[in-house]
Amino acid sequence: MRRSQHLASGFTLMEVLVSMALGLLVIGAGVTLFKTATNVTQTALSRSDMQQNARGALAIITRDLTQASIGIPQAGIALPTGGAGNALAACGPTQCYLTNGVYPNNLLAPVVPFDAQGANNTDAITIAYIDNTWPVTNKPVSTISPNGTSITVDTNTYDSSGNAAPAPNGKTYNDPVFGSRVGDVLMIFNTNGYAVATVTAVGANGQLTLAQGDPLNVNQPGAVAGNVRSLGYAACPAPNQAQLCPSTSAARLNVVTYFTQINPGPDGIVGTGDDYPQLMRQLNAQRAIPLTDYVAAMTVSYDIFNSNTNQYQAGIDGVQVPNSAEIRKINISLTLQSSGTGAARNETYTVSTAVAPRDLSFQNRY
C-alpha cells in the first residue's frame, strides 16, 4: 500500500511581517482616534469650566456694581489728609495686595479705578455702597471719644427694615451674624460732613473702637481733615464734650475690591512655572478670598460724562478717569485660561459685560 503524504503549509516570514505591520497600523489608528476624541472631550470640559467660572465671577462683580453708590455721596467721601500717610485699598490683616493701593484723589468713591495694578498688569476696581444688613444702619451715634478713636452706637434691637423689634426678629449692633465685626468699614456723618473709619474692636454697651493703625489706614485721629474727629465733637458744650453736636449717625459700608494675584503652584514657590493667577475679592478690611482661579486678565474701562463740557465718552481707560463721579457705565472683561502647566494653558475664554449703576448713571438734565 502506498501512503500518501500531505505537507503542512504555513505563513512565510514576509507574510507575518506584513500582517503585523497592518495590525499595528489598525491599532495605531484606533489609539489616535481615541486620543483625539479624549482631547476633544477634555477641551470641551475645559471650555465649559472656564465659561462657568468666568460667568460666575462676572455675576458676582455685576451684583456689586449694580449697588455702587447706594447710600453714599455720589462724589465720594474724603479720606484723611495731613495725617499718617494715604488711605490704602485692598489691604488685609497681613498685607496690601495692590502694587499701589492708594485711592485716586484721596476719595473713597462709589467706583474707584485701579489701572494695571493687579498681577500681570491686570486692572483692579473698588466698589462702595451701604450695607443695610447692619442692625443700626443710619441710627444716631450717642457719643464719640475726644480723639475720634471710638464711638457708641445704638444698643436697641431692630428688624431688617430698621424698625424697632424684640429679639429674635430684632438684632443688635453686635449680633453674631449681622452685627459689627473687626474689619468693618463705617461711614459716620452729620451736617459737618462724612468720615470713614475701620472697626478695630467690638465692645460692650455699643462701643466700637476705631484705633489708629487699621489695615486700610483710614483711622487717623491726628489728621487735619477727613477723619472722625473732624465731624465736630469739639463744638459740643462743656463739660461733656463727648456728646455729639450736631446729631451724628453711622452706617456700615461694603467696600469691595476685585484684583488678581499670583499664587504659587504645588511646589509652593512663585516663579517655577506652576504658578497660577487668581481673581480675589476683598470686603472692607477682611482677608481677601479667591473668587476663581486661572484669571489671565481682568480689563476694566469706563464710560464717563463730563458735566462741564456736556460730553459723553465711552471706553475710557481707568488711568484716564479724572473724576470717579463722572463714571456712568463700567465695562468689564474677564479672560480665563485652562488649568495645567505649559502648553496646557493655551486654551482661553473671554466673557464681557457692561453695568450702568442706577445711582451713578442718573444725570439730571432738567
Give the C-alpha separation, 110 to 17, whole Å.
77
pLDDT given at position 239: 47
**Phi and psi, residue 234, nearest 5°:** -65, -20
Cβ-contact 201, 174 below 8 angstroms: no
Residue 364 has pLDDT above 70, yes or no: no
Residue 276 has pLDDT above 90, yes or no: no
Per-range mean pLDDT, top range of 77-86, 109-118, 180-189:
180-189
Q: Which residues contact 158 (CB under 8 A, 6 or more apart)?
A: 135, 136, 139, 164, 165, 170, 171
Q: What is the residue-wise DSSP string for 99-159?
A: TT-B-GGGEE-SEEEETT-SGGG--EEEEEEE-TTSTTTTEEEEEE-TTSSEEE---S-B-
Average pLDDT over residues 158-164: 90
Q: Is the pLDDT of residue 112 over 70?
A: yes
Q: Is 342 helix (H, G, I), strand (E, B) or coil?
A: helix
pLDDT digits 0-9 by tens, 293-324:
888 889 999 999 887 788 888 988 888 888 88
pLDDT at 341: 54
CB 135 within 8 A of CB 173: yes
Number of neighbours of residue 184 by Cβ within 10 angstroms: 23
Measured between alpha carbons, how far is 76 from 108 in angstroms, rounded to an integer?
5
- pLDDT tens-digit series, residues 316-355: 888 888 888 889 999 999 988 877 555 555 678 888 999 9
Residue 193 in grid coordinates? 460732613
Tell me the percentage of the chain whose pLDDT exceeds 90.
39
* Closest residue by Cα to residue 126 from 139, 140, 115: 115
**Between 227 and 234, where is the model more confident?**
227
Note whether 331 and 39 are within 8 A (CB): no
pLDDT of 17-74, one tens digit each? 888 888 888 888 888 877 777 666 655 555 667 778 888 889 999 999 999 989 999 8
**pLDDT at residue number 220:** 92
Q: How confident is the model at residue 180, as a pLDDT?
A: 96
pLDDT at 135 over 90: yes
Summarize pLDDT for 204-226 with one digit per residue, the tens. 999 999 999 999 999 999 998 89
pLDDT of residue 236: 57
Query: Strands (DSSP E) along the chain, which ranges?
Result: 77-78, 107-108, 111-114, 124-130, 139-144, 150-152, 185-190, 193-198, 201-202, 207-209, 243-263, 276-283, 289-293, 295-306, 311-317, 327-337, 348-355
